[in-house]
């Protein structure tokens, strides 16, 4: 046995933080999930018999009102890009921008919830038609993802205020929020029009 001590190799620097890699894998799975939902929507709509997709008694989806919600969501994503740049220069300077991004994201979720309540009151339910079923499934799944991403952004904001936010956590939260923001125009364009 040799008693000489060997130096341990220097730890390797992560090319991609573990939190970001994990989030990218999750986002990849979620992209496939939404691709499946949107594909099923498209195929079912194309094969629907006349009068079975949307009943004449059901309301038309409020595309114009939802455009405002969409603008809030997209602005939230742009603000988060700005916050990331601010964080890299001076972490504390990103606090208000992350909060504003969170607020605009919350506005989107709340307004979508109000939209649902209005549509339910007008007779569009998950059982009323095929459109109703797909609408609530796809838009509801997105809403749940947005709510979950808001939790992550809220935690990032809190840690930023406390001075304990790691760059990896912020990148992970940003990655998921960018997914929520990026998939919405596809959903909006396909489901509402």
What is the predicted pLDDT for the residue at 3? 59
91: in domain = yes
What is the predicted pLDDT for the residue at 162? 98
Count up the domains in the chain and report the number: 1
pLDDT digits (tens, 9 = 90+) for 84-141: 999 999 999 999 999 999 999 999 999 999 999 999 999 999 999 999 999 999 999 9
119: in domain = yes
116: in domain = yes
Mean pLDDT (whole number) for 152-170 = 97
Residue 2 has pLDDT above 70, yes or no: no
> Are the C-beta atoms of 53 and 102 separated by less than 8 Å?
no
Measured distance CA(108)–CA(145) in Å, rounded: 12
CATH number at residue 96: 1.20.120.80
pTM for the complete prediction?
A: 0.90
36: in domain = no
19: in domain = no
Range of the domain at 111: 64-191
128: in domain = yes
30: in domain = no
154: in domain = yes
Mean pLDDT (whole number) for 21-44 = 97
> Are the C-beta atoms of 94 and 83 separated by less than 8 Å?
yes
Q: Which helix (H) or strand (E) holds 35?
A: helix 18-47
């Amino acid at each position: 046995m040799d008693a000489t001590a060997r130096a341990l190799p220097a730890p390797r620097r992560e090319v991609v933080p573990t939190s970001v890699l994990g989030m990218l894998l999750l986002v990849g799975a979620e992209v496939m999930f939404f691709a499946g939902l949107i594909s099923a929507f498209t195929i079912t709509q194309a094969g629907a018999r006349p009068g079975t997709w949307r009943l004449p008694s059901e309301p038309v989806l409020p595309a114009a009102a939802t455009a405002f919600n969409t603008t809030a969501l997209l602005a939230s994503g742009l603000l988060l890009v700005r916050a990331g740049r601010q964080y890299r220069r001076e972490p504390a300077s990103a606090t208000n921008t992350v909060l504003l991004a969170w607020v605009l994201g919350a506005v989107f979720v709340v307004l979508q919830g109000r939209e649902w309540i209005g549509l339910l009151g007008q007779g569009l339910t998950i059982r009323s038609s095929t459109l109703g079923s797909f609408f609530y499934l796809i838009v509801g799944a997105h809403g749940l993802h947005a709510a979950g991403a808001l939790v992550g952004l809220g935690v990032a904001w809190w840690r930023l205020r406390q001075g304990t936010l790691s760059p990896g956590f912020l990148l992970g939260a940003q990655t998921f929020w960018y997914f929520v923001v990026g998939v919405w125009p596809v959903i909006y364009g396909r489901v509402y029009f």
